A = this chain, B = another copy of it.
Amino acid sequence: MTDATSVADYVQARRAEVDALLASLLPAPPDCPAPVAEAMRYSLTAGGKRLRPVLCLASAEAVGGSTADVLSAACAIELIHTYSLVHDDLPAMDDDSMRRGRPTLHVVAGEGMAILAGDGLLTEAFHVLAGLQGDPARVLRAIGLIAGAAGPIGMVGGLAIDLACVTPDPQGHTAPPLDGAGLAAMHAKKTGALIRASAVAGAILGGGAEAQIAAIDAAASEFGLAFQIVDDILDVEGDAAQLGKSPGKDAAAGKPTYPALYGIASSRQMAEACIVRATASLTAADLADSWLLGIGRWIVERRN
C-alpha cells in the first residue's frame, strides 16, 4: 500500500481532487470584484505540491473518514498556505519575484492588490470552513485548530521571527541570529504548525478517536520538521527550474538554515530521523498501514 509508485499515484489522485475543487472554490465576479478575483486565482492556480490538503485527506482516510467530506477543509487550508506565500513574497517581506515558476503576484498585480488578494484568500478560507457539513462541534474544533496554527502563535509568529532576524525595524534593530534551538522553534511555527494542523484537522473532521488524533499530531510534527530541513537542503542543492524559485536565497540573505548549522549530511540524517519517529507514533496507534507514512517519505525524497 505504501510503495513508492502507489504513493505517487495516491498523491496525484488527491492532488487532482484538490485542484478541481480549488478551481471553483473562490468567489468570482459579479459578487467578487474582478481585480481581486483574478489576483487570488492567479496565485491559487499556479500549481504547487498541495502537501497540506493531501495530508489532510490522508489523515481523514487513515481514521476511516471519507475524503469527500473533508475535501473542502483541505482546500481551505491550501487557501491559507497560498495567502502566506503571497504575503511572504512581498517586497517588505522576502521580496521574491518568482514563485512556482511564475512571476509573483505583486509583480503582475501590484503590491496593494497582492496584499488584498492574500487577505481575501485567508478570509475566504474561514468562510469555506464555516460552511463545512458534519458535526458542528468537530467543525468548530477544526476551525480553532487551523486558526491557531495559522495565526500569531503559529505561522504568522514564525514569519515574524524570521522577519525580525533579517529585516531591520524602523529603529534599525535586527534580532540576533538564531541558534539551532531557535531555528527549530521558528520553523515549528512558520512551516510546522500549518502542516501539523492540516493532518490533525483531517483526523478530527474524519471522525478520528482522540488517540488517533494525538498520534497523527505527533507524526505530522515530524513531517513538518522534515519538510523544512529538506526545504533548506533544496535551497542549497536544488535547481531553479525544478524548484520554480531561486535557490541559494536563504543563504544569501544570511538566514540560518539546517545545512548552514549542521552540514548537508547531518541535515539529511535529521530528516530521516523525523520519519523514524513518525513511524513509531503511527505504528503505536495502529495507523502505520495508511498513506501517511508514504507521504512522509515523499516529503523527504521530493526534489522541489
Which of A's residues lie within 8 Å of B, judged by CB? 26-27, 31-33, 35-37, 39-40, 83, 87, 90, 92-93, 107-116, 118-120, 122-124, 126-127, 129-131, 136-137, 139-141, 143-144, 147-148, 150-153, 156-161, 163-164, 167-170, 175, 189
Majority secondary structure of chain A interface residues (helix, strand, loop or mixed): helix
A170 touches B108 (CB 8 A): yes
A116 touches B159 (CB 8 A): yes
Please pick, from B141, B157, B168, the residue contacting A36 in the complex, using a CB distance under 8 A: B157
Closest CB in chain B relative to A239 CB, distance in Å: 28
Most buried by B among A122, A124, A161: A122
A140-B130, A143-B130 as given contacts; A115 in contact with B113, CB under 8 Å: no
B87 touches A36 (CB 8 A): no
Supply 27 A–B pairs (Cβ within 8 Å), ascending by A.
A32-B152, A32-B153, A33-B157, A35-B161, A35-B164, A36-B160, A39-B160, A40-B152, A92-B112, A93-B115, A108-B170, A112-B163, A112-B167, A113-B169, A115-B115, A119-B156, A120-B151, A120-B157, A122-B122, A123-B150, A123-B151, A126-B126, A126-B147, A129-B143, A130-B143, A136-B140, A139-B140
B143 touches A33 (CB 8 A): no
**A148 and chain B: residue at smallest CB distance:** B127
A93 touches B112 (CB 8 A): yes
A116 touches B163 (CB 8 A): yes
B160 touches A113 (CB 8 A): yes
B152 touches A120 (CB 8 A): yes
Known: A36-B157, A116-B160. 12 other contacts (CB 8 A): A27-B152, A32-B157, A33-B158, A35-B163, A107-B170, A110-B167, A113-B160, A116-B159, A120-B151, A120-B157, A130-B141, A130-B143
A32-B153, A36-B156 as given contacts; A115 in contact with B127, CB under 8 Å: no
Closest CB in chain B relative to A100 CB, distance in Å: 19
Closest CB in chain B relative to A155 CB, distance in Å: 8
B109 touches A169 (CB 8 A): yes
Closest CB in chain B relative to A41 CB, distance in Å: 11
A35-B160, A130-B143 as given contacts; A123 in contact with B120, CB under 8 Å: no
Bound complex: CA A265 to CA B196 (Å):
57
Most buried by B among A35, A83, A108: A35
A115-B115, A126-B143 as given contacts; A27 in contact with B153, CB under 8 Å: yes
